[in-house]
Amino acid sequence: MKVIVCKNYEEMSVTAAQIVADVMKADPACVLGLATGSTPVGMYKKLIEMNKAGEIDFSGITTVNLDEYYPIAPDNDQSYRYFMNENLFNHVNIDKSRTFVPNGMAADPVAACEAYEETVANVGAAAIQVLGIGQNGHIGFNEPDTALEVRTHVTDLTESTIKANARFFASEADVPTKALTMGIGTILNAKKIIILANGAAKHEAVSKMLAGKLDTSCPASMLNLHSDVIVVCDEAALNG
Ligand code: PGA
């Protein structure tokens, strides 16, 4: 894995946005794999600025998001569909019908996962997949476990993730306990991966990921199987 260490959140966001922009310029009709969470918000702001300045064009872009809570309505302000609209899609010239997020309202969530895996396969491999990393080492909602799922699936959120995400909800009890998420194999299918991490709270997870071992207690360590991964992080995430 290549590691780019940035001074702070701002520099991390600019660096990540530049990497994504370069991929978009090389192929203006590519697929972007996108992530939610607080980490990539600054990167999305930069991408919006670049789009408004005419530097990058979203008109031919397709996006696939990693995950969605279950159950949750798309217009719930904590849904990842809502997050993507608010933080990127509403502000750039993208065709929203080409933006895909798992269906948090599906009557049959297992069938919805199969359908999502098919959608991701049909649009073709992401030219770049953006990832955050959970404090527990999760990527998407692939939580630490003795075995990890390969494809898109329904998952139970761990106590640690529910606690970490409670800050966005009125109370911890309001955090959905399940999610639909791409599997590790779905994620590894991207041609290029960047994983962003800032702050000391991510240090333990980042260290385990960089230890060079496949450790299911740190799902991000599975990225060691991919030949083009860039870790864009700040000093606190790298060094604690
Ligand atoms: P965060 O979440 O960006 O809000 O820290 C990261 C993640 O859980 O993947």
Encode pLDDT of 149-190 as tens digits: 999 999 999 999 999 999 999 999 999 999 999 999 999 999
**Percent above pLDDT 70 for the chain:** 100
Q: Which protein residue has the closest C-alpha to ligand 1 atom 2?
A: 37
> Which of 51, 65, 67, 203 is the catalytic position?
67
10 Å Cβ neighbour count for 210? 18
Give me the chain's average pLDDT, please.
97
- Rounded to whole angstroms, the maximal C-alpha distance in the chain is 47
Which pLDDT score is estimated for 95? Answer: 98
Which pLDDT score is estimated for 183? Answer: 98
> Which of 51, 65, 103, 136 is the catalytic position?
136
Q: Which residues does 39 contact at the CB level (< 8 Å), separation at least 6?
A: 132, 133, 196, 197, 198
Is 219's C-beta closer than 6 angstroms to any atom of ligand 1? Answer: no
Q: Which residues does 171 contact at the CB level (< 8 Å), separation at least 6?
A: none
Annotated active-site residue 91? The verdict is no
| 205-233: average pLDDT | 98
Which pLDDT score is estimated for 203? Answer: 98
Q: 219 near 144, Cβ under 8 Å?
A: yes
Q: Per mean pLDDT, which range of 8-17, 79-88, 123-132, 155-164 is the poorest?
A: 155-164
Which pLDDT score is estimated for 152? Answer: 98
pTM over cut 0.75: yes
> Which of 103, 138, 153, 165 is the catalytic position?
138
User: Backbone dihedral region of 54: left (phi > 0), alpha (psi from -120 to 50 degrees) or beta?
Assistant: left
Annotated active-site residue 122? The verdict is no
| 28-46: average pLDDT | 98
Is 63's C-beta closer than 6 angstroms to any atom of ligand 1? Answer: no
Is 13's C-beta closer than 6 angstroms to any atom of ligand 1? Answer: no
Which pLDDT score is estimated for 103? Answer: 97
Encode 160-185: b = buried (16+ Cβ within 10 Å), e = exposed: ebbebbeeeeeeeeebbebbbbbbbe
Which pLDDT score is estimated for 49? Answer: 98
